[in-house]
Structure 1
Amino acid sequence: MDAQQVPPDMSNWTPRAKFLDNTHNKSELIHLLSSTFRKHHITVEQCDNDADTSIVREALAAASDGSVEVRAEDADVLVMLVHHSSDSHHPLFLTTSNGSYDVRKIKESLSETQKSYLLFCHAFTGCDTVSAIAGHGKTTLFARFCEGDAAEYIDIFLDTEATKETVIQAGTAIFKYIYHGRDTTLGEIRYNMFSRKAAAGVIKPETLPPTEGAAAQHSLRAYLQTRDWILLQSMSLNPSDYGWTIGVHGYEPVPTLDPTAPEELLQFTSCNCHGDCSNRRCSCKKNGVTCISACGVCNGIACRNCSHDVVEIGQNLASQLPQCPSPTELSVLPLPGDPSSCDPLSRGFMLPWSQTHYSVVEPGSPVNLQAAQTAQLHMHREGYQQYNKKK
């Protein structure tokens, strides 16, 4: 109806979603409905926490005496009804705004493995309390899980007595299985995927695997939810121990316990000193970090607060230092110039003094090979293998 047809007493009505976002409104609505139902001799059970398990428990109890129709919009309720229903129950139906579902027929269409893994799969791949895994649909993952390759890890989530440590280990292994990297670490899988996407020029962070810390918290929440559904008991364990924390609006998920970034990045600072950065006038020195390439004057190379010892090249040292090595002695990165020339003696080259800093050596200049080799070794350890000494 258009605005002219709205009755005056309805013009200020609040949308349902916005109304229910207010916890006070929700509490008052529940109180009003409960009191009205009781006045009409309808049994009401009010839940302090999530009502889904209570709904399923009461529906199963009623199905022992006759057929039952459950009205809900939550897929969690349907999954629990399918898992817990048996041949001894009378017909069970779940009715939503999209139609009605026969619980018995759904269960009969599933294999034994699918029946066993249904609760775990629904929880781990995303439900009301556990985030979904971007780029991996429920149907696809359900089929992969039921192939049996991850059975030993899934069984841990179905064990109501499993420890937190085993749950985290199993959850991490399942994530590695999802991303096809069972023989490596999540960090390596994440780095390799990032590198491929960066090379392609398109990076969507949500499609990357979770970090080890995020996978641990996800696994704990998924285990707690699966356990609640198995036992039909809300908050069967302390949520604060299983991926949740108490915030302003109640329980909130813990994304990860790992730091946001390495400490050296969190303490990022730079200076613009005209001296040698050796005293506390230097903002880098004052904050206890080394100078970096973003520093205005020293560029993290020409000062006493660098992460390396800069080799001073002067005429008084020329007689004591060897000349630039030939291409057969050291692999180098030629400076921009004639692409047909690869001779570092004629074009100059760059020596890696640290992970992020390079010193340009002009053609024919002497260089400290020991320092260069030490810097190269440091880069090898950090995974930077652009520069390798030839055997």
Structure 2
Amino acid sequence: MGFHDTLKKLSLRTFTIKRKKKPENDPVGILHSDRSTFSRIALVAQTRQMDMREVLSYPLGPLPWSLSTTSGTLIKTSKSALLPLLFDDNSGSETTDNAGDGALIVDAMALLRAMKVNELPSTYGEFAALVLSRLCRFMSSYKRVDFVVDTYRQVSITNLERTSRMSAGALRQHITGSIQRLPRQFSKFLAVGENKSELLEFFFTQWQTPELMSTVPAQKELVVTSGSSCVMIKNNDASPASQPLPDLVCTHEEADTRLLLHAKHAACAGCSHVTIKTPDTDVAVLATAFCRSIASRLSLLIGAGSRLRRINVNAASNKLGQEVSSALPGFHAFTGCDTTSAFAGRGKKAAFKLLCSDKPVSVLARSAFVAVGNKFEALPAEHIATLEKYTCMLYNATQCSSVNDARYQLFCTRSLQSSQLPPCRDAFLRHCSRANYQAGVWRRCLVASPVDILSAHQDGQGWQLRSDGCLTIDWTDLPPAPRSILEFLRCGCKTGCSGGSCSCRRHALPCTDACGCRHNSPVACTNCMEELAACENEDAPLADSVDE
């Protein structure tokens, strides 16, 4: 190679390889945990009495594998699989937009994430103007446009999901002014909650300057939120102004619920039709559940470009029926969302099909899901029993009413790993608590500042508050297996286990192959099953002769 020749690009190993990690739901990790537990079970079962029903009432691992990944995070399911079940082509689609004087409610973060990197301007000031121009473009079809944001709290159940999104990389940058340059790694910038809070507050301030307020079309309304604040910007008679909207000052954390609150406000303000623009399945569920409480016709705008689809939420909800629609928040939280686990290997489609069937358990399950989230207290025992039976049906254990019984039946009749079994009852009850809390937040989406949410503590609702102020998932209080297996009692005798020094004999237990007397003792063990059986056989004829 000559001195001036071009060097070929080499694939050198860098520190980025350290970021690669095993898949969260790693079957190898689960198999290693199962192997450790079941090897102890096999040894104990050889010589000692053991109730497998009791054993299977434990999680059989450091975490309940039917709800948790090997890294301790929530098992995820495809939430979008629920959309075609809620909105089929015959009941929920609209091909034309006849909004007229309607309102468009926009999910702020979905709008920002949809922007391509090559569309981003150089500075924050230009970015604020670009986003505002896109909102004003919507006003050609709508009288009112709402820009609805999330809030980001230090202690929150949603932080667990946001932390997992930051695993791909995060970039923290303080916003100091409009001429500051926008980071090129914009997706990493949006992965940090503090960045999003500062960016949305920057928009909120910039859009209320006379220069940008004048770009809002005349006789149109722009509703902008930031934190708990909300203002309406109008440009009437060439005199732009902003005014606060006290009815929309709220304590909602997620934009999912705040979008419905704004939809209700727009309907009450006289908008004949309200459209929510969002890709989130959670919002679709809430819109279907609560559209009857919104005075105007409600639609969803999903997708982009040629795949843009308008959904008539009222028509879809009417086809599902009021009972199924009202059950959706509890059902969605129970079968898996951003803050609750899905059941491993059990998706939305099968669960929804079971919910809508005519089986007796489905009828009871619909009533139970309607009650999930009505109160933040523990669910009544009858609803817990119904949800337990519903879970057994999900796992095709049709003859069982308890998840522990279903675990035993499936373990005996099929060759399943512990991740393929239903959760044990203790983990199941905590999962119900998390689903009840999340559904409770959703069911109060039409109230600006629900008092019972402020008084309800997330700690103890299936989560635990650590000493550093962070919430973690409270999976279960149970150990992985019964104490007799975890603290596997084995002696180290070298004298045949004939005296009181043998720990197995003191606890009235026979020695097993794991005891030292089987391998290190020159004298045969007298406390093993074989010796004890031989003694019983020698005593049996003597007992017969005495009886004779």
TM-score range, shorter chain: 0.5 to 0.7
Report the alpha carbon displacement of residue 276 of structure 1 after superposing the two structures with TM: 4.2
Could you tell me how far apart the structure 2 residues matched to 1:77 and 1:93 are?
Answer: 9
CA spacing shift, 1:313–1:287, aligned 2, 3 Å: closer
Could you tell me how far apart the structure 1 residues matched to 2:201 and 2:509 are?
Answer: 59
CA spacing shift, 1:100–1:244, aligned 2, 3 Å: farther
Gaps of 5+ in 2: 1-8, 10-117, 123-180, 214-222, 229-250
Most deviating of 244-253 and 279-288: 279-288
Task: Say whether 1:187 aligns with 2:407.
Answer: no
Gaps of 5+ in 1: 324-367, 370-391
Task: Say whether 1:99 aligns with 2:308.
Answer: yes
Report the alpha carbon displacement of residue 211 of structure 1 after superposing the two structures with TM: 0.8
Most deviating of 156-165 and 172-181: 156-165
CA contact (8 A) 1:273 1:282 kept: yes
CA spacing shift, 1:197–1:68, aligned 2, 3 Å: same
Alignment equivalent of 1:175, drawn from 367, 391, 397: 391
Amino acid at match of 1:240: D
Could you tell me how far apart the structure 2 residues matched to 1:94 and 1:279 are?
Answer: 80
Most deviating of 62-71 and 233-242: 233-242
Report the alpha carbon displacement of residue 108 of structure 1 after superposing the two structures with TM: 3.9
Alignment match, 2:263: 59
Alignment match, 1:142: 352
Report the alpha carbon displacement of residue 311 of structure 1 after superposing the two structures with TM: 2.9
SS of alignment partner, residue 85 of structure 1: helix
Considering Cα pairs closer than 8 Å and 6+ residues apart, tell me whether 1 or 2 has the greater RCO: 2
SS of alignment partner, residue 158 of structure 1: helix
CA spacing shift, 1:307–1:63, aligned 2, 3 Å: farther
Most deviating of 291-300 and 260-269: 291-300
Alignment match, 2:114: none
Which structure is larger by alpha-carbon Rg, 1 or 2? 1
CA spacing shift, 1:312–1:239, aligned 2, 3 Å: closer
Could you tell me how far apart the structure 2 residues matched to 1:262 and 1:205 are?
Answer: 15
CA contact (8 A) 1:121 1:138 kept: no
Report the alpha carbon displacement of residue 82 of structure 1 after superposing the two structures with TM: 1.6
| RMSD, matched Cα | 4.4
Alignment match, 1:253: 473
Could you tell me how far apart the structure 2 residues matched to 1:239 and 1:213 are?
Answer: 18
Report the alpha carbon displacement of residue 20 of structure 1 after superposing the two structures with TM: 4.4
CA spacing shift, 1:318–1:171, aligned 2, 3 Å: closer
CA spacing shift, 1:319–1:270, aligned 2, 3 Å: closer
The Cα offsets for residues 145-175 of structure 1, whole Å up to 9 and x where unpaired, read as 1225233344234232474342533432322
Amino acid at match of 1:131: S
Report the alpha carbon displacement of residue 216 of structure 1 after superposing the two structures with TM: 0.8
CA contact (8 A) 2:497 2:525 kept: yes
Amino acid at match of 1:82: T
The count of residues paired between Structure 1 and Structure 2 equals 312
Alignment equivalent of 2:460, drawn from 228, 234, 241: 241
Alignment match, 1:69: 275
CA spacing shift, 1:88–1:81, aligned 2, 3 Å: same
Report the alpha carbon displacement of residue 230 of structure 1 after superposing the two structures with TM: 2.0
Report the alpha carbon displacement of residue 313 of structure 1 after superposing the two structures with TM: 5.3
CA contact (8 A) 1:38 1:44 kept: no
CA spacing shift, 1:104–1:299, aligned 2, 3 Å: farther
Alignment match, 1:231: 444
Report the alpha carbon displacement of residue 255 of structure 1 after superposing the two structures with TM: 1.5
Task: Say whether 1:131 aligns with 2:341.
Answer: yes
SS of alignment partner, residue 411 of structure 2: helix
Instruction: Provide TM-score, normalisation by structure 1.
Output: 0.64
SS of alignment partner, residue 92 of structure 1: strand
Task: Say whether 1:311 aligns with 2:528.
Answer: no
Task: Say whether 1:115 aligns with 2:338.
Answer: no
Task: Say whether 1:43 aligns with 2:250.
Answer: no
Task: Say whether 1:155 aligns with 2:362.
Answer: no
SS of alignment partner, residue 472 of structure 2: strand
Task: Say whether 1:82 aligns with 2:82.
Answer: no
Report the alpha carbon displacement of residue 318 of structure 1 after superposing the two structures with TM: 9.3
Report the alpha carbon displacement of residue 267 of structure 1 after superposing the two structures with TM: 1.6
Report the alpha carbon displacement of residue 112 of structure 1 after superposing the two structures with TM: 3.5
CA spacing shift, 1:28–1:59, aligned 2, 3 Å: same
Instruction: Provide TM-score, normalisation by structure 2.
Output: 0.47
Alignment equivalent of 1:207, drawn from 410, 417, 420: 420
Could you tell me how far apart the structure 2 residues matched to 1:135 and 1:282 are?
Answer: 47
SS of alignment partner, residue 275 of structure 1: coil
SS of alignment partner, residue 44 of structure 1: strand
Could you tell me how far apart the structure 1 residues matched to 2:477 and 2:538 are?
Answer: 56
Alignment match, 1:266: 486
Amino acid at match of 1:311: L
Amino acid at match of 2:302: T
| Identity over aligned pairs, percent | 25
CA contact (8 A) 1:93 1:101 kept: yes
CA spacing shift, 1:93–1:181, aligned 2, 3 Å: closer
CA contact (8 A) 2:389 2:400 kept: no
Task: Say whether 1:217 aligns with 2:448.
Answer: no
Could you tell me how far apart the structure 1 residues matched to 2:297 and 2:191 are?
Answer: 37
SS of alignment partner, residue 93 of structure 1: strand
The Cα offsets for residues 18-57 of structure 1, whole Å up to 9 and x where unpaired, read as 5444444444444444444454565214256333212211
Alignment match, 2:516: 296
